[in-house]
Every structure is written in C-alpha cells, then in structure tokens.
Chains A and B, each alone.
Chain A
Amino acid sequence: MQLNDYEQEMLAGEHGQAKQYGMQQVLRVGTFFDAPNTVEIAQVHLMADPESLGVSGVEFLEGLATTPEADRTVVVPAVTDPRGVDLNAYKKLGQTDGMADLEIRATAAFRSLGFMMTDTCINYQTICPPVLGEHVAFGDTGSTIYANSVQGARTNFEGGPSALAAALTGRAPRYGYHLDQFRRGSCLFDVDFRPKDLSDWGALGAYVGREMASYWEVPVITGIEDTPTSDEMKQFGAALASFGSTPLFHMIGITPEAHDFKAVLDGAIPKSVKIAKNDLDTLIKSYMPSDDKLDVVVFAGPQLSLMEMQTLAEHLRGRKISNDVALIATTSPEIKYACDRMGLTEAIETAGGMVLSGVCFYQMYAREIGEANGWKRLMSNSAKLVNILGGYGYEPMLASMEACVESAIQGRITGDAK
C-alpha cells in the first residue's frame, strides 16, 4: 500500500502517538484488502458504546486522550453513534453505576479527542447528510448503507477502531465501496408490492439480507414504484445491513446511482428473485411465539426520527400502557429536544412509556437490562432489532408500530400481530 510523505511521517510517529495509531490501523486494514493507497474523507461517524469497548477499550481511548492536544485532535468533523447509558434513566432500567462510570469515562475521552457527542445513528437524517460522491468514514451499518445507497456517498463499514483512525488521520484505505467497480449490482430482486408499514420495509430488508452471501454483494431492487420515505429507506437499509452485512443497495429509478438497470448492472440483466407479500408474511411469522405473553415493547434500532416520534405519540395520546409491559422509544438528543418542545415526549410518558435520549436499545447492555427487569418476550417494529436480540437472550418478534402499541396497552400480544 502506497503512503505519501505525510502519511509515512504519521506512521513513524512524527505527528504523535494518536496519528501513529491511526496510520497503523489504516495500513493494516488497507493491506488486508489490497488497497492501493488512501482516500481523504470528509466526515466520520463512530460507534463505540461501552459494552463493545469494555474496560480495555476505554483505557485505550484514555491513553490517547492524555497525548498532546495538537496531536490527538481529530482532523475532520467527527460525530458519535448512540451511547450505551442514558445518565438520566439508567437506574430505572437496571443498569449499574459501573456501566454509567464506563460511559462517563469513554465520553470524556472522546471529547478530549475532539469528537462531537451527537450520540445518534441517524446522523444522515439529523446532523450532516453526506452528498453524492462524498467520501466519508461511517461506522454504523445503518448509517453506512443509507449514506452509500440513498445519498450516494462512499464508505465501507468503518468499525470503531477504524473510524477513530479515520478521524485522527483524515484518511481511510481506498478499497471496496470507495471504488466504482465495487458499487456495481451483483443480484436482482423484483418486489411486486409496496410494503405498507415500517416493519414491512424492515422485513423486506431482512429478506434480501438473508440472501446475501457476503459483504461484497450489492443487491439491486426493482418493482418499487412509489418513492419510499426517508424512514422507510432507513428501516429497509438497516435491516438489509443487519441481516446481510450489506453496505450498499440500488433501487432502480429511486436511488441516485440507479437511474436504470444499465447504470448499475453490467452485461445482461440477471434473472431476478421475485419477492411477494406472502414471503414477508412468512418471515414475520417465523418470529411469532406460541403464546401471547409480552414483557417489553421497543422502538429503536435505528433511533426514531421526529416523524416516527410524532406517530408514536399520536398512537399513545390519552391511553395507558399496561403495568405488566414496558414501552421504550429511543431517539437522538436533538430529536428528543424537539419532542420535548412539541409535547411528544409528554404524550408518550403520560401513557407510561419511556423516551430515552442518545442511546439505542441493543447498545445499552441489552442482556443485563433484560435480566434485571425480567424481560424476555419483546416486540418491535424494527427487523434489525429483532435480528440482534435473539443472541441476547430475548424472544423478539416483529410487528407494526400500531400492533406493538396496542399490545403494550392490552398487556399481551394482540391485534394485527397475532
């Protein structure tokens, strides 16, 4: 991998320990993927919840944070993914002081490095949406697939250690989805209906994602005639990325690089995989439990937009959630502030729900809070969340927001969900 003079200096430690770490990480990963050189990136989105970091990860960050300020400060705008502890709510959720302490230490270290603590996975909706052709380093699968596919930006999945390296050096290895040849479609899916609810869009993403053999496959979707909303694309992409480890899709006539088949497919148009509504119904039913017991309803993964928060508030306004069920919604600090101003938080909390700010459910020590609260049976309208939480000891199921809310009020799985 070719490095220019400045990059060689960073690698040699001439610009400090933090940048040296950054170039080492860029070089190791770039070499593994045969990157010819680096690409300068315009912004960074970094995932580093305390559960993932652990004590050793936080100590590593604290080590960088003690190096001279001029050496350790990020060189491009750098924002953060959801944190693991909402300090205003952690005790109520059964999180421990030890978890909160690790969160505080990690946050302090990131601030010291110059990160802006946006604590959101929907930065592409709420902070600084990237534009067509912009090279970025995004570190949440949902933000990556949305930036690549819907906004036409260019990034690989940049996990925490590499997003940090990108922020400190302003560079990422030039391979994969930074390059034209990797952004061509590799398979075709023909959808003969329009998904209705956000949960259906997630189920569609899950269906396609399950068909993906590896990170390098790029699914092309056709048959969607009416342009999806940003939240629909968000749920579709987040589920596709979660089930498939997929960072890019094209939707013919809708996403910016896919004006038509020729724009994204080489050679003859491949035989398509047909997807019908029945296929999604079968997928959703595969998560259906045999009884109607319910412990917790979660709206998260990705964090909710202002529009989703408004819909949730309208479903709950003037109603009362069963005492036997917890209802949690997570959103970004910016959207939470807007919800507070607009009375949406009050509507949800008056009904008995919790609105958490700057966190996402699966990144909040999901196993431990499940055990602390006796939560096992979980409902969500997020296919991504349902996919993740099985490994954390939950029995998750997928349903529309309306069915989730109705079930939370009845205290059992009910309505359209059954």
Chain B
Amino acid sequence: MTNIFKGHPGIGDEVTGEALVASDNFSARYDLDRIKGIFSRPQHKLCGQSYDGKILILNAAKGGVATAWMLQEMVSRGVAPKALILNFANPIMAQGAAFANLPMIDRFEVDITENVPNGANVKVIPETGELRILLTEANLICS
C-alpha cells in the first residue's frame, strides 16, 4: 500500500490529524452549517457529519466565492477543518486558504479521495505538496 501521495505544493503549515473523506465536492457556503460545524447539504455524502478538527479530503472546489472569507471566519471561531485536501482546488479555495493560513494541497497524481481511507491518521506537508498516511494500528486495520 502506498503511504505517500504527491500533489502540487500547497498553502499553510504542516499538520497531522484524522481524515474525513468523500468523493463529493466542496463549498463552505453551499455545504456547511458553519455554526454547528457539520455538513448540512442533504445531497452531500457527509451530510450530518462534523468537520471540526478533521483533515477534509474531497474531490473539487465547487460553488461560489464566499468560501474565500468563510475559511478564516471558521478558523477564528475554532470550528474548522485542520486542512483541506482536494483533487482540484479553484482560486476561491486557494484565496481562502491563503487568507486563513489553512493548510491546503491539491492536484495529486492519483484520485486522493480513492486512496486515503476515511478515518486514517494523516500528515499534510504543504511545502512539498505531500500527504502521508501514518501507519498507526487503526490505519492498518482500516486498509
């Protein structure tokens, strides 16, 4: 099993945490109840789940421009993901991550949503664009 995935160099600082993974897309305005810290869009695969403190791994940035402000607003209240990992970011995600200094990586060599098990303990290294699955006992059982 591959444990290191290479993407484009990203934004923000190195961080480690639990992955919350789905093949769906992402927009802070369209998909989240930011007060409760959960996904709220009924059609989203993560609807009802908390994203607070998770390494959020999703497919592509979608929706409007509000996310560019909202990521920082979420970080400021302490109810935010630890990092955003996407197959394809758009400028809004990058602008929001840069403004909030929220770690983000995209453009991996593989479909990252297909390669990281939900719940895995992962390390995000934006400077080199790497995501590493840490081989804890739980991850080995998961994989």
Contact = CB atoms under 8 A, between A and B. Distances in A.
Interface of A: 25, 28-29, 31-33, 47-49, 51-57, 60, 139-141, 156-162, 176, 213-216, 241-245, 362-363, 367, 387-388, 390-393
Contact of A48 (B63, B69, B77, B98): B69
A391 B91 contact: no
A168 to B, nearest CB: 14
Contact of A32 (B27, B64, B94): B94
A215 B27 CA distance: 13
25 contacts: A28-B11, A29-B95, A31-B9, A32-B10, A32-B11, A47-B69, A48-B69, A52-B29, A54-B73, A55-B73, A56-B73, A141-B65, A157-B65, A159-B67, A159-B68, A160-B69, A161-B95, A162-B68, A215-B88, A245-B25, A388-B64, A390-B41, A390-B42, A391-B30, A392-B40
B63 A161 contact: no
Interface string B9-33: 1110000000000000101011111
Nearest to B126: A32
B43 A29 contact: no
B2 interface: no
A39 to B, nearest CB: 14
A242 B31 CA distance: 13
Contacts of B33: 367, 391
B118 interface: no
Interface string B32-46: 110000001111100
A367 B31 CA distance: 12
| Of B44, B64, B68, B87, most A-chain CB atoms within 10 Å | B64
B64 A242 contact: yes
Contacts of A32: 8-11, 89, 94, 98
Given A56-B73, A162-B95, A391-B33, 5 more contacts: A52-B73, A53-B69, A159-B69, A216-B88, A391-B41
A215 B70 contact: no
Main secondary structure of the interface of A (DSSP, over half): helix
A268 to B, nearest CB: 25
B66 A52 contact: yes
B107 to A, nearest CB: 10
Given A242-B63, A388-B64, A33 B91 contact: yes
Contact of A140 (B25, B60, B65): B65
Contacts of B9: 31-32
Contacts of A54: 69-70, 72-73, 76-77
A325 to B, nearest CB: 23
Contacts, number: 138
A390 B43 contact: yes
B143 interface: no
Nearest to A46: B65
A160 B98 contact: no
B90 interface: yes
B134 interface: no
| Of A32, A54, A243, A390, most B-chain CB atoms within 10 Å | A32
B65 A47 contact: yes
Contacts of A48: 69
Nearest to B60: A214
Interface in B91-110: 91-92, 94-96, 98-99
Contacts of B63: 141, 242, 245, 388
B40 A391 contact: yes
Contacts of A158: 65, 91, 95
Contacts of A29: 91, 94-95, 98
Nearest to B30: A391
A246 to B, nearest CB: 10
B83 interface: no
Nearest to B41: A391
A387 B64 CA distance: 11
A388 B29 contact: yes
Contacts of A55: 73, 76
Contacts of B85: none
Per CB-CB distance, the 8 closest pairs between chain A and chain B, nearest first, are A159-B68, A54-B73, A56-B76, A215-B90, A391-B41, A28-B98, A214-B88, A161-B99
Nearest to A367: B33
A161 B96 contact: yes
